[in-house]
């Protein structure tokens, strides 16, 4: 199969940062809120799927999909950069544009040993819809790609297809994240890069079906050589997909997943071998969801305990009430809870700023969840008292 017309935004000069509309006041204990994309912007009709990461040098990179329609068709991967902790942002960069085709699901990870930013993404023909791809009735299939930047996200390498090592031939649908990957710190797997992913598969047991004859599962990709080579974990199933992964204090990995198991909460799985294999799923009743994406990251140590942060629309019936929660015991219990946006809200991505503030990049609106993509900073003491 031939594909042409990849367009990368390659800027050799430093990016000029410009101020965006700022809502709120700067100072300890206050929230700063900024709209990075909205439906009033002219470059695309819609903007969705937030991903944000902090580079080794402290720059913030906020990724999004620029869409002409819904989940299919002409979709580009966009980027805005901040070099001052999210107070101002660059003009929009285009990381990947393949004409009328779908370039989506940005899922970045930073290799802290080199500073390289690795970005996993997915591609499918713009004429194909998700349901067709899942049922294998599409003209083409969904494919994982990878690119990277060595200059703080200013320029990006040509995307390389990763299907040969990163996709099971039985899988139809494929998605990276949405959200971010991680780099491990434990002695046994130090510096391993891990990317959470999900896929559709042909079911052998009707109980696993999500869409007639096909189920949803999750997995991770991992690399021990800085992203030169990648391996694929065993699958986590049944009926779970969009996922995020964290490393617990004992070195185990915890995968937190969107669930179709009719539990109205997040699905959980544990790996004790650096992501190669995974436990049977269980459900965390504390983390209610309306079947939606969520974000989970390690904040670091607070009050001498490892702290983890989680965000999602905390409503079992609808995508509203974007909420931030904290755990001080390796994600066993969630003791802090802070309402970020009471109205319609959907996908989100968390980060920790160099000064310790919490950053959340999320979809929200007044009438529906996809009106704007908002970046907000929060004093951690507002959540963890």
Model's pTM, two decimal places?
0.92
The per-residue pLDDT for range 46-87, each reduced to its tens digit, is 999 999 999 999 999 999 999 999 999 999 999 999 999 999
What residues contact residue 40 under an 8 Å CB cut-off, 6+ apart?
Answer: none
How many whole angstroms separate alpha carbon 282 and alpha carbon 276? 18
| Poorest-pLDDT segment among 17-26, 244-253, 307-316, 346-355 | 17-26
Gap between the Cα atoms of 49 and 29, Å rounded? 28
- Categorize the per-residue pLDDT at 23 as very low, low, confident or very high, splitting at 50, 70 and 90: very low
Contact 61, 117 (CB under 8 A): yes
Task: Report the greatest alpha carbon distance in the chain.
Answer: 56
Assess whether pLDDT exceeds 60 at residue 15: no
- Closest residue by Cα to residue 281 from 291, 271, 273: 271
Burial of 262 (0-12, 13-18, 19+ CB in 10 A): exposed
pLDDT for residue 302: 67
Asked whether 281 and 306 are in contact (CB, 8 A), the reply is no
Predicted local distance difference test score (pLDDT) of residue 303: 59
Task: Say if residue 186's pLDDT is above 90.
Answer: yes
Two structure tokens written together for 370: 């996809």
- Higher-pLDDT residue of 16 and 229 is 229
Task: State how far the alpha carbon of 230 is from the alpha carbons of 36, 222, 224, 247, in Å.
Answer: 33, 5, 8, 19
Using CA atoms in the order 180, 183, 186, 192, what is the torsion angle rounded to 10 degrees?
Answer: 120
With contact defined as beta carbons under 8 Å apart, do 266 and 293 qualify?
no
Q: State the pLDDT at residue 174.
A: 98
What does the angle CA 211 – CA 73 – CA 91 come to, to the nearest 5 degrees?
125
Indicate whether 27 pLDDT > 60: no
pLDDT the model gives residue 336: 82
């Amino acid at each position: 199969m031939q594909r042409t017309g990849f367009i990368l935004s390659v800027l050799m000069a430093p990016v000029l940062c410009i101020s965006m509309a700022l809502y709120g006041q700067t100072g300890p204990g206050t929230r700063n809120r900024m709209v990075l994309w909205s439906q009033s912007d002219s470059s695309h009709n819609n903007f969705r799927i937030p991903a944000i990461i902090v580079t080794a040098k402290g720059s913030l990179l906020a990724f999004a999909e620029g869409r002409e329609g819904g989940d299919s068709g002409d979709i580009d991967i966009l980027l805005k950069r901040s070099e001052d902790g999210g107070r101002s942002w660059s003009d929009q960069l285009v990381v990947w544009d393949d004409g009328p085709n779908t370039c989506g699901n940005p899922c970045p990870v930073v290799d802290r040993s080199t500073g390289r930013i690795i970005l996993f993404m997915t591609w499918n023909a713009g004429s194909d819809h998700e349901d067709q791809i899942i049922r294998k009735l599409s003209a083409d299939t969904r494919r994982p790609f990878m690119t990277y930047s060595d200059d703080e996200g200013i320029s990006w390498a040509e995307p390389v297809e990763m299907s040969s090592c990163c996709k099971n031939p039985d899988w139809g649908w494929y998605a990276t994240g949405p959200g971010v990957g991680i780099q491990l710190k434990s002695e046994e797997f130090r510096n391993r890069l891990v990317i959470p992913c999900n896929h559709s598969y042909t079911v052998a047991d009707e109980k696993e079906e999500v869409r007639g004859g096909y189920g949803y599962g999750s997995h991770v990709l991992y690399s021990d050589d800085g992203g030169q080579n990648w391996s694929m974990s065993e699958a986590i199933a049944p009926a779970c997909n969009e996922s995020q992964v964290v490393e617990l204090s004992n070195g185990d990995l915890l995968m937190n997943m969107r669930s179709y198991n009719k539990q109205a909460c997040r699905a959980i799985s544990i790996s004790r071998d650096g992501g190669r294999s995974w436990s049977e799923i269980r459900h965390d009743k504390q983390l209610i969801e309306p079947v939606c994406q969520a974000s989970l990251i390690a904040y670091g140590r607070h009050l001498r305990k490892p702290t983890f942060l989680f965000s999602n629309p905390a409503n079992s019936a609808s995508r509203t009430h974007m909420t931030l929660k904290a755990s001080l015991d390796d994600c066993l219990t969630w003791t802090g809870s802070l309402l970020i946006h009471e109205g319609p809200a959907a996908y989100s991505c968390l980060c920790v700023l160099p000064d310790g503030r919490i950053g959340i990049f999320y979809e929200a609106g007044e009438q529906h969840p996809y009106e704007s993509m908002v970046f907000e900073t929060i004093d951690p003491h507002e959540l963890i008292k």
